[in-house]
Amino acid sequence: MKRRQLRGFDLKQINGVTSLIGVDEVGRGAFAGPVVAAAVLVTREFLESRWALAKSGRVNDSKLLSPEQREELWLEFEQLAAEGQIHANPGRASVEEIEQLNILGATKLAMRRALEGIYPPEAFEQKREEPDLFSSFEERTTFQPSVSARVIVDGLALRGFPYPHTAFVNGDARSLCIAMASIVAKVTRDRIMTDLDAKFPGYGFARHKGYGTEEHRDAVLRLGRCAQHRDVFLRKLLALRVDPAQMDFLAAQE
């Protein structure tokens, strides 16, 4: 679907409500690091704004944009948030939570945290303090617009999720606000992985962002696992390179 249609898709989805919240995640298939989600709230006024008319055609699924394009759009989102034209919030689930909940459970947790920073499910009509889009996770406050909202999510519908939502397969290539959420999530996670690269040198986290590249496999074979590796995922990463009998030995080297 062409990018110029993303805005039109959202204009159709926002009928009957005053705001639309797109949700997406990144890092679900990585072998190390957290899974990160983001939620981006837009209104009809924003979708009809000068920025949306002139510049939204540059927005796309984050996987189809270069790092430079994503960073440039991030700066524009930051300005839009400062002007109150959009509201956005990332949420994440740690490696420990991935191990405890499995990757689907952790992904839903990250999405819930992203949404809670914008629109808590239990108090849709009560307004509180507006958050700073790019503040730290710990410093972020909660924004509850006194308007009706519709949540749209990339992928399949989420069972047991506290927010009523509509899911769209390949939603990040169909919806403007989902694509914006994918960019916020991707830039947020890339920065986290770059920070982890400094804390856990030698694995190349800043380059491959924790995904299962040849460089990553070689680094794990050389250094063993670190605290940011997902245990079950790591076994898959090494499965073609290491005898299964050696897996527990490597995991014990942490």
Per-domain boundaries in the chain:
5-197, 211-251
- Taking CA atoms, 174 is separated from 58, 60, 61, 220, in Å, by 13, 9, 9, 37
Residue 9 near residue 157 (C-beta atoms within 8 A): no
Ranges of beta strands (E only) in 71-191 are 87-93, 149-154, 165-168
pLDDT tens across 180-234, in order?
A: 999 999 999 999 999 999 999 999 999 999 998 999 999 999 999 999 999 887 7
Architecture of domain 5-197: 2-Layer Sandwich (3.30)
pTM reported for the whole predicted model: 0.84
Distance CA 38, CA 177 (A): 10
Q: 81: which strand partners?
A: none
pLDDT tens digits along 10-60: 999 999 999 999 999 999 999 999 999 999 999 999 999 999 999 999 999
Burial class (CB in 10 A: 0-12, 13-18, 19+), 76: middle
